[in-house]
Amino acid sequence: MINILRIILLSLFLRAGGISTNLWVDLSDHTYISYGDSIAAGIGVESNEKYSSLLASNRGLILDDQAEQGINSDDLLLTIQNADPIELAQVELITVSIGSSDIVDTVLPYILECYDIMTFSINVNALIDKLESKIVRDEIQVALDNFQSNYQQIIDILAASNRNVYVVNLYNPFSSIVIYDTSDNLGKINIGLYAEEWIDAANDIISNQDKVRVVDINTAFEVGNDDEKLVNAEFNLIDFSFNYNSYPTKEGQQVICNEVSTQIDYVIEVITDDKDKAMQITIFILGSLALISLVLFDISAFITSKKRIIVNQLRQK
């Protein structure tokens, strides 16, 4: 009887040790949904050059591209609300890129109002007055508040169905761009500093939660812009023209792909390590219980044996 119990306990111990081989779902050969705006849709680059296509190709994923040009958080929320939660649960990876249209589309009209496309000149003082006016700043705040409300609902829905959700935060499309007033030399404006305030506010909203993973491309773009052109927007000091195209270049899309992939690998590694540690503790506890049980069985057998000897001795007397 004791030998049978030993075999059962040893079997349970070994089975617990084997659980650690399936700690994370392999992302290869599974569906990947890309949600987002023009950045995710890859405006300005070839279809196979946008970050979702690159990511799918590099990791062996089947891309379900649901990103759309020009949409904002209002549009994406409607799309997510109409999504089938069962289908979302079966997807192995979801990425989200949203918020750029909410913020940039609010500010860009005021920039263009001060820009003369015929002479490629911009009235800097007029632009400063607009960007610092209470009306414009209040409008930007309304856009941020609306984005916060929509974003929270978006991640609540996605996180309720799927644990592999990665949100790409916003980069500053006008980083370090200083625009000079070429019409009458009234001054210059570092439009990147204005944009940084609003981008940082949106990124605080994106990161202020623990339901989905956040991919920080903002930092990557700040560093990467020192080496290569990641965003189309620029101010040309040769002819003083301002290119306000805020979309990533081919190189920018590659950077986003790299950052998402790095975050996925990091999360898998951390979760695997944590589960390995938890499994080691579980195995230790099971092993300890098994050892204690075996000792108790041996003691019980020893006592039973002694009782039989004593009983036999009494009977012989």
**Cα 166 from Cα 182, distance rounded (Å):** 43
**Cα 96 from Cα 158, distance rounded (Å):** 10
Distance (Å) of CA 49 to CA 57, 253, 262: 10, 7, 18
**Residues 140 and 103: beta-carbon distance below 8 Å:** yes
* pLDDT value of residue 316: 57
* pLDDT value of residue 146: 97
Which domains occur in the chain, in start order?
Answer: 2-278 (3.40.50.1110)
* pLDDT value of residue 239: 72
Q: How deeply is 127 buried, as exposed, middle or buried, from its count of CB atoms within 10 A (0-12, 13-18, 19+)? A: buried
Half-sphere exposure of 143 (CA within 13 A, CB side): 21
What six digits make up the tokens of 151? 């974003």
Residue 266: its H or E element: helix 250-316
**Cα 77 from Cα 80, distance rounded (Å):** 5
For each of the chain's 317 residues, which pLDDT tens digit applies?
Answer: 555 545 444 454 444 444 433 333 455 448 999 999 999 999 999 999 999 999 999 999 999 999 999 999 999 999 999 999 999 999 999 999 999 999 988 988 888 888 777 766 778 888 889 999 999 999 999 999 999 999 999 999 999 999 999 999 999 998 878 877 665 555 788 888 889 999 999 999 999 999 999 999 999 998 755 568 899 988 877 776 778 888 999 999 999 999 999 999 988 755 444 444 445 555 556 556 656 766 666 666 666 665 565 555 555 55
DSSP category for residue 123: -
* pLDDT value of residue 276: 44
Question: For the whole model, what pTM was predicted?
Answer: 0.75
Q: Which of 217, 274, 225, 264 is nearest to 92 (CA)?
A: 264
